[in-house]
Amino acid sequence: MSVSPRMVYIDMKTRRAKFHLDALEVTVKDWIDSRPYTVTHYDDFEKAIHVVRIKDRVTPELLPMLVGDFVSCLRAALDQLAWALAHLPPLKLFTDAEQRRIQFPIAKVADDGYLKRLGLFPSTVAPELDRLQPYHKGNAFDGDLLWQLNELWNMDKHRAIPCNSNSFVLGFPGEGWKKYLRHFTDAVEVHFPIVEFYQSPMNLEPTVSVEPLFGEHMGQFGIPMGRLREINEFVANDVIPRFTRFFP
């Protein structure tokens, strides 16, 4: 299928974003397969507990770098799209200030700034852009795929390489062990009572699965690998195709 000349750069950016996402998935799998954590056992007789400590190893720097490359390319594809859409009327002239404001809008509130940006687009395009905005979800805007992409992009540009932490999913034989679970900055511990442990010996080797969360380190915002794939598919297969009808 032929591609409109205006879509060529957009297509290049989305393909490059997928390249980085595919590389990230391979890197994450290799990292998880390497068992990126240590399990330590010891008795604390003063507290009368047997401690099982699960500590994660430092996340390889390639993971957050690939996330940054992915979100930068995908967000740039949207801005390339916005530029092409804003310039659809061939004779429309923008001031320098207006040119600098042209971007794909992603708004959690419909404030004056958002409405001014929306006004840079043709009247046929603006309603389609507005339908995609996170602000329509009210207080649940932070679960929106476009908002999450934009948050990762801003984070990578201005604040931090986006790797939040690692998420542990643990399992032990028997019931009731979760009440002994303790969380720390870089580890989790399970504090089994020594009396209970030695009276009824059990296998205390945990089953552990781990997954990186992407966002600001130790911040409240963190999304898993699968969510990045959802974001990519939404932008590439839903958002961008909505606007191809506007191009000859």
Output the pLDDT for position 239. Answer: 98
Q: Which comes out higher in pLDDT, residue 60 or 133?
A: 133
68 with 162: CB under 8 angstroms? Answer: yes
- Express each pLDDT in 217-232 by its tens digit: 878 899 999 999 999 9
Give the separation between CA 196 and CA 106, rounded to whole angstroms: 55
240 with 77: CB under 8 angstroms? Answer: yes
Q: Which comes out higher in pLDDT, residue 193 or 175?
A: 193
φ and ψ at residue 142, rounded to 5 degrees: -75, -5
Give the separation between CA 87 and CA 90, rounded to whole angstroms: 6
Q: Which residues contact 156 (CB under 8 A, 6 or more apart)?
A: 67, 68, 71, 72, 162
Task: Tell me the mean pLDDT in the region 26-45.
Answer: 93
Per 3-state DSSP, the chain is made up of helix, strand and coil in percentages (nearest 5) of 50, 15, 30
Nearest of 215, 192, 189, 212 to residue 202 by alpha carbon: 192
67 with 163: CB under 8 angstroms? Answer: yes
Give the separation between CA 172 and CA 181, rounded to whole angstroms: 11
Residue 165 has pLDDT above 70, yes or no: yes
Q: Which comes out higher in pLDDT, residue 2 or 96?
A: 96
Task: Tell me the mean pLDDT in the region 17-21.
Answer: 98
- C-alpha distances (whole Å) from 10 to each of 47, 69, 73, 94, 226 are 61, 16, 9, 22, 23
Residue 66 has pLDDT above 90, yes or no: yes
The strand pairing partners of 188, in sequence order, are 54, 183
Q: Where are the domains of the chain?
A: 5-246
Residue 174, number of CB atoms within 10 A of its CB: 9
Tell me the Cα Rg of the chain.
Answer: 24
Q: What is the pTM of this model?
A: 0.88
Output the pLDDT for position 210. Answer: 87
What's the pLDDT band for 1 if we cut at 50, 70, 90?
Answer: very low
Kindly report the CA angle at 142 between 141 and 143, in degrees rounded to 5?
Answer: 90
